[in-house]
Amino acid sequence: MGVAPAPSRPTPPTGPDRAHWLRVARETADDLATDAVAREHAGKAPFDEVSRLREAGLLTLLVPAGLGGGGATWPTAYAVVREIAAADGAIGQLLGCHYVMAFSARLFAEPALAALVEQRSAAEQWCWGGGIARQEPRLTLVKSGDGYVLDGRQSYTTGVLVADRLAVRAVRADTGEPLAVVADPTREGVRIDDDADPFGQRLAAGGSVEFDGVRVGADEVLGSLSVDEDVLSPAASLASPLGRLVSVQLRLGLAEGVLAEAREYSRAGHSPWHPEWPAGSPRDPRTLTEYGELTVLTRSASALAAEALTALDSGLERGADLTYDECAEISVLVAVAEAAASRAAQESAARALDIIGARSTSLHLGLDRFWRNARTHTLYEPVAHRLRDVGDYFLNGEHPPFTLPV
């Protein structure tokens, strides 16, 4: 008599494949590119742009298919952010921040709560904004009944003007413990001010948020942001390099976007150094050299980003088996990629204007937006900090600190 086979487990549902999402991202980027200059000049809160992302299904990309989402992984999400950023840097930042904030439930909350948050986020197509990096003055959370009360005011660079949910960092008044909290911006006591006035990334929907006695349910407190090793696991520590790799993709998208637009203009125009020679011609060695140098710079940064992504993806797969040493190595690889991508974005955005010449000052072309976007983003996230982390790790073996990106 044979042994009865064990009942097979049901196969978890899967979403569309990577090729589908990359195609959707390209189509959405092409759509955004058609009016990118006009929208950037208008500087209106990007409600329409968020609608385009929502209609394309990109807001639920990372939510597991079994919870109603796209079922994609971070390598796909990074590629999508980069594609969108090449067309519109501010919307690339908005989408990247959305992915990180929405994913914070999976990093810091218990699995059951994380699943509940993600399921509702997918069902209601939430757009996330805010930030969980440390800021002063702090938001405070006071225990009240079976929930909490949230108070304080902070500024955020991304998403708050258009968000359906905010992920914020608040400190418990009684214990001093920092917590990741989900806040509903429509709740009584929340006031959002459109007081951000950056010269770049103007459509990233940043602003200030004031919380005045805002009720927060126990199921809206995701978990601890403490850096104590007995609280913050190596897997949760990946929140830092995970968020920073979004910044890397954004910078690479800006570099690739400005070079693509400059190339199209050069092909149709003339060299500023030799007006009688068509730009891009082998007879114009200076133009060719400039494009060659910037291509090498950008592709080198892209290769470093790919190495960091492979390490991060492996760390996410290891989950609870990840060690602190492995997490440190991942953080350093991301920091290296961030430094290289920062240089690629800034040099490409600045030197592309030199390649085009005085005609690049035309507001109609809008090439200046790439330079303004790259400088704005890199000022909020200075690369000097990452270089110090890399140097300290190389020289002294020190693990990079757990610092979440702004």
Give yes or no for residue 167 having a pLDDT over 90.
yes
The verdict on 220 and 280 lying in the same domain is no
Give yes or no for residue 282 having a pLDDT over 70.
no
Give yes or no for residue 393 having a pLDDT over 70.
yes
The verdict on 122 and 159 lying in the same domain is no
Contacts of 289 (CB under 8 A, 6+ apart): none
**pLDDT score, position 357:** 85
Q: At what angle do helices 324-356 and 368-380 cross, to 10 degrees?
A: 150
* Rounded-to-integer distance, Cα 26 and Cα 23, Å: 5
What is the band of 283 on the pLDDT scale with cuts at 50, 70, 90?
Answer: low
The verdict on 273 and 141 lying in the same domain is no
Whether the link from the prior residue into 405 is cis, omega within 30° of 0, is no
More confident residue, 3 or 334: 334
* Rounded-to-integer distance, Cα 167 and Cα 183, Å: 6
* Rounded-to-integer distance, Cα 264 and Cα 260, Å: 6
Pair type for strands 165-172 and 178-183: antiparallel
In a domain, 7, yes or no: no
pLDDT, mean of residues 38-47: 96
What is the band of 359 on the pLDDT scale with cuts at 50, 70, 90?
Answer: confident
The verdict on 123 and 163 lying in the same domain is no
**Main-chain dihedrals φ then ψ at residue 40, nearest 5 degrees:** -65, -40
Residue 26 sits in a domain whose CATH number is 1.10.540.10
**pLDDT score, position 276:** 57
* Structure confidence by residue, pLDDT tens digits, 222-263: 999 998 866 788 888 999 999 999 999 999 999 999 999 999
Q: What is the largest CA-CA distance in the chain?
A: 90
Q: Which of 243, 214, 219, 228 is nearest to 331 (CA)?
A: 243
Contacts of 383 (CB under 8 A, 6+ apart): 338, 339, 342, 343
**pLDDT score, position 272:** 58
In a domain, 87, yes or no: yes
Give yes or no for residue 280 having a pLDDT over 80.
no
Predicted model pTM: 0.93
For residue 362, give its domain range.
234-396
**pLDDT score, position 10:** 54
* Rounded-to-integer distance, Cα 78 and Cα 99, Å: 9
**pLDDT score, position 13:** 73
* Structure confidence by residue, pLDDT tens digits, 70-85: 999 999 999 999 999 9
* 3-class state of residue 182 by DSSP: strand
Provide, rounded to the nearest whole percent, the portion of the chain with pLDDT above 70.
Answer: 93
What is the band of 356 on the pLDDT scale with cuts at 50, 70, 90?
Answer: confident
Q: Residue 221's beta-bridge partner residues?
A: 181
> 384: exposed, middle or buried (C-beta count within 10 Å: 0-12, 13-18, 19+)?
exposed
**pLDDT score, position 14:** 76
**pLDDT score, position 2:** 47
Instruction: Specify the number of domains making up the chain.
Output: 3
Residues 399 and 240 sit within 8 Å (Cβ to Cβ): no
The verdict on 133 and 177 lying in the same domain is yes
For 263, 266, 270, 293, 357, the CA distances from 277, given in Å and listed in that order, are 15, 11, 6, 20, 14
Q: How far apart are the first and last CA of the chain?
A: 65
Amino acid at residue number 120: R
HSE toward the beta carbon, residue 153, CA cutoff 13 A: 8
The verdict on 307 and 279 lying in the same domain is yes
Mean predicted lDDT score pLDDT of the chain: 92
The verdict on 267 and 392 lying in the same domain is yes
The verdict on 121 and 134 lying in the same domain is no
The verdict on 106 and 167 lying in the same domain is no
pLDDT, mean of residues 185-204: 96
In a domain, 332, yes or no: yes
In a domain, 2, yes or no: no
* Structure confidence by residue, pLDDT tens digits, 313-322: 999 999 989 9
Element counts in the chain: helices (H) and strands (E): 12, 8
Least confident of 5-9, 29-33, 324-328: 5-9
The verdict on 80 and 158 lying in the same domain is no
Q: At what angle do helices 47-55 and 18-34 cross, to 10 degrees?
A: 150
In a domain, 5, yes or no: no
What is the band of 364 on the pLDDT scale with cuts at 50, 70, 90?
Answer: confident
**pLDDT score, position 313:** 96
**pLDDT score, position 269:** 65
pLDDT, mean of residues 144-168: 97
* 3-class state of residue 343 by DSSP: helix
Q: Which of 104, 242, 238, 298 is nearest to 182 (CA)?
A: 104
Q: Which two tokens stand for residue 372?
A: 């303004």
The verdict on 73 and 85 lying in the same domain is yes
CA dihedral 345→351→355→358, nearest 10 degrees, is 110
More confident residue, 274 or 301: 301
Residues 58 and 125 sit within 8 Å (Cβ to Cβ): no
The verdict on 297 and 275 lying in the same domain is yes
What is the band of 394 on the pLDDT scale with cuts at 50, 70, 90?
Answer: very high
Residue 156 sits in a domain whose CATH number is 2.40.110.10
Give yes or no for residue 25 having a pLDDT over 60.
yes
Residues 98 and 139 sit within 8 Å (Cβ to Cβ): no
* Rounded-to-integer distance, Cα 342 and Cα 360, Å: 22
Amino acid at residue number 181: V
* Rounded-to-integer distance, Cα 193 and Cα 256, Å: 33
Give yes or no for residue 7 having a pLDDT over 70.
no
Contacts of 388 (CB under 8 A, 6+ apart): none
